[in-house]
Homo-oligomer: A and B are copies of this chain.
Amino acid sequence: MATKPYEPNMVLVNEVFDVVGTRPIRPDGADKVTGRALYGADFNIAGLLHGKILRSPHAHARIKSIDTSKAEALAGVSAVVTAKDLPNTKGGVIVEVGEGNTALKYLRDNILAGEKVLYTGHAVAAVAASSPHIAEEAAALIDIQYEVLDHVLTAPESMKDGAPLLHEDLKTKELGETTDKTSNLASHFRHSKGELEKGFDEAEVVVEREFNTVTVHQGYIEPQPATALWNEDGRLHIWCSTQGSFVVRDSCAKILDIPVSQIRVVPMEIGGGFGGKIDVYLEPVAALLSKKTAHPVKLVMSRADVFQGTGPTSGCCVKVKIGAKKDGTITAAQAYLAFEAGAYPGSPVGAAGMSVFAAYDVDNVVVDGYDVVVNKPKTAAYRAPGAPNAAFAVEQVVDELAGELGIDPIDLRLMNASKEGTRRADGPVFPRIGCVEVLEAMKDHPHYSAPLDGPNQGRGVSVGFWFNIGFASTCNISVNDDGTINLVEGSVDIGGTRASGSMQAAEVLGIAMEDVRPTVADTDSVGYTALTAGSRTTFATGWAAYEAAQDIKRQMIERAAKIWDVDVESVELEKGEFKSKTDSELCMSFKELASKLSTTGGPIVGRAAVNPKGAGGSFAGNIVDVEVDPETGKTKILRFTAVQDVGKAVHPSYVEGQMQGGSVQGIGWALNEEYFMDEEGGMTNTSLLDYRMPTSLDLPMIDTVIVEVANPGHPYGVRGVGEANIIPPLPAIANAIHSATGLRMQRLPMNPGAIMEAIWKEGK
């Protein structure tokens, strides 16, 4: 798949470069395929102790007492920690540390529960012992007395009057203002544009539907690991698997109440994150255990820990109403988004609210968003957080509208597509974007005109939008005297960003990517760099690599001018050759000049820090063919085409991989994945045998079409590519199921049981 030839005919609006846009072998490839790459769980250090976390068996309960004495007495046990070992606790209860620090209190409380446990799997205590087995045995000896409370698991239930209250100090924020109301509704926001009622009055067709989705997990292959050493000099060293070493540094500094510079985070290789490895879970606990034992302590999650103790993404209830004229003009759109935050405020409803109608240029819009706490793990980011849930609703309503209007669903989207200058309901005006180009590429694709060739088959389409973030990245570069460069970056490499950053630096200097040696450094050894998430890394860290290479280029030009004894202004670097603009005799390759540095003034090093606001939004679209077995309800994906505007595909193979990966995660979310909860609020399917993710046997080849509408806000036009691709699969598959069966699926997952129920209900 990775070696499939790249089709430059799909490049719409971008330049062709020498290195950017090619498909070199990744620098970290050998280590990863030979098993040499060191992941968090591989990390061992002299004197290492092993930890185990004891988790709540209840979805909601008050902690009456914790007796750790039996655990502490077990031979081989070095320490037990509970919430009272966290800073700012009073009698074992975490207290606020000042005005507006409820968030910090919640952050600490999610690390080790204070007064109450708020979800099954909530960490309550942890043990450090000489072996993982003793630690596990000791954890089982901790005696916790609970007063079990009623629990609530969905946003609609949780918002009802009389619902069990999770937090006595949670005051609802209403349209930006904190109210006196204590409830499970953390906040309600509204975006509006135009006059909604007038818009619906103008409409000739209106479709309104409600959709519900359940909790799903990112499903990264590597469970969280963390080792901490709280050293005698007060410095805390952390080795972990994270999407952001500086995020871990910042979070642990807050949770543990120590300055950031007292912490050094070493990001080990990461086995997937998809947003789920941004928040910290184990790191502060390992740190507390290390502080208490004066030994390094390692914690590694089981898969059940991962499902129950880390953040999945929200289940939600979304209602969408869209009105259009008969000619297809959408006149009004309204969305109600109630998202589960999990046990503490902070669902992705904000992003859902900003993205829900982003693909459409509609004059009259109202979006209401509700962030609701429930007795489930605090949600975390998951690939385009919130947008797939919202798109599952909107794109089905648009599909239904197209059906009622008798307009081709791609044409209807094209007629109403957002473009440069379109203002979103949440305020921003789009710069140059590729929504139209993605839709046109879908329409032009052979897949869209290919006939379906059997009964119970159907075809669906949809589009999705994601922002792609900016934020800070830094890089350092040094020149080796063999004409290569070393690139030091702070971005954890999940999807090939060692390569994509190296390629952008190589492009500037006119050298090959193979002449760049990238290193992902720890937080002591490189400048502040934001997380690897939000599709930002190739965009922002690549940009930092570009700027650091420019710093090198400037100094190399100065050196060439010094060697030739000419004006700096008269020297240029073109395709790896330093040249005099006036004297054609004066010419030297990058490699030649690199070999002369030590004798002409010494080494050259470069640095850059960038801090872009955003990476330029990305649109993705799918064409999906399915066949639904009317006897079993099983949906088979027959053909799948993923189209995405990536601005510039720095390494097209990795772009295709991202598009395929996002599509597959979307397929799993659409058809099978779910937290299956029992009546006590516990998850019953906490293994990958029972939590059903797609395997290669469930999937056709995912065809990809890279669209390149250059992002004017990046030197090479990069937009970022990791997220938008997970948005369209959910509604595209739902629309395909509708096309195959006539059923409008309003709940996820659309698994065989759900399909059969719908068939029986509709009598089809």
Q: Which A residues form the contact surface with B (CB < 8 A)?
A: 27, 29-31, 34, 36, 42, 46, 229, 231-233, 235, 253, 259-261, 264, 472, 474, 476, 478-482, 484, 486, 488, 515, 517, 519, 521-529, 551, 598, 601-611
Contacts and interface: CB of A to CB of B under 8 A. Distances in A.
B474 A260 contact: no
A673 B34 CA distance: 50
In the complex, the 8 A-B pairs of residues with the closest C-beta atoms, listed nearest first: A602-B611, A30-B233, A478-B527, A527-B605, A261-B484, A528-B603, A607-B607, A259-B482
B486 A525 contact: yes
A481 B232 contact: no
Contacts of A605: 474, 476, 527, 607-609
Given A525-B521, A605-B609, A598 B231 contact: no
Residue of A42, A46, A602, A610 with most partner-chain B CB within 10 A: A602
A260 B482 contact: yes
23 contacts: A30-B235, A31-B231, A259-B482, A259-B484, A260-B480, A260-B484, A261-B515, A474-B603, A476-B526, A476-B527, A476-B607, A479-B527, A486-B525, A488-B525, A488-B526, A517-B524, A521-B521, A527-B604, A528-B598, A528-B602, A529-B603, A602-B610, A606-B607
Contacts of A488: 476, 524-526
A443 B603 CA distance: 44
Given A478-B526, A528-B598, A611-B601, A261 B486 contact: yes
Residue of A29, A36, A253 with most partner-chain B CB within 10 A: A36
Given A261-B484, A476-B527, 10 more contacts: A29-B233, A30-B232, A31-B233, A36-B231, A36-B232, A261-B480, A479-B527, A486-B525, A602-B610, A605-B607
Q: How many copies does the complex hold?
A: 2
Nearest to A524: B519
A522 B526 CA distance: 13
A249 to B, nearest CB: 9
Contacts of A261: 480, 482, 484, 486, 515, 517
A478 B486 contact: no
A601 to B, nearest CB: 6
A461 to B, nearest CB: 40
A676 to B, nearest CB: 38
Contacts of A522: 519
Nearest to A611: B602
A253 B528 CA distance: 33
Contacts of A476: 476, 488, 526-527, 605, 607
A235 B486 CA distance: 13
Given A31-B233, A525-B488, A260 B598 contact: no
B603 A611 contact: yes
Contact of A30 (B231, B479, B524, B598): B231
Contacts of A609: 602-605
Contacts of A484: 259-261
A486 B232 CA distance: 20
Nearest to A606: B607
A199 to B, nearest CB: 38
B602 A472 contact: yes
A519 B525 contact: yes
Contacts of A235: 30
A523 B488 CA distance: 11
Contacts of A474: 478, 603, 605
Contacts of A232: 30, 34, 36
A255 to B, nearest CB: 15
B231 A481 contact: no
Contacts of A34: 231-232
A455 to B, nearest CB: 51
Contacts of A523: 486
A575 B294 CA distance: 37
A140 B551 CA distance: 55
A66 to B, nearest CB: 32
Contacts of A526: 476, 478, 488
Contacts of A260: 480-482, 484
A598 B471 CA distance: 9
A529 B529 CA distance: 25
A611 B474 CA distance: 25
A706 to B, nearest CB: 28
Contacts of A481: 260, 528
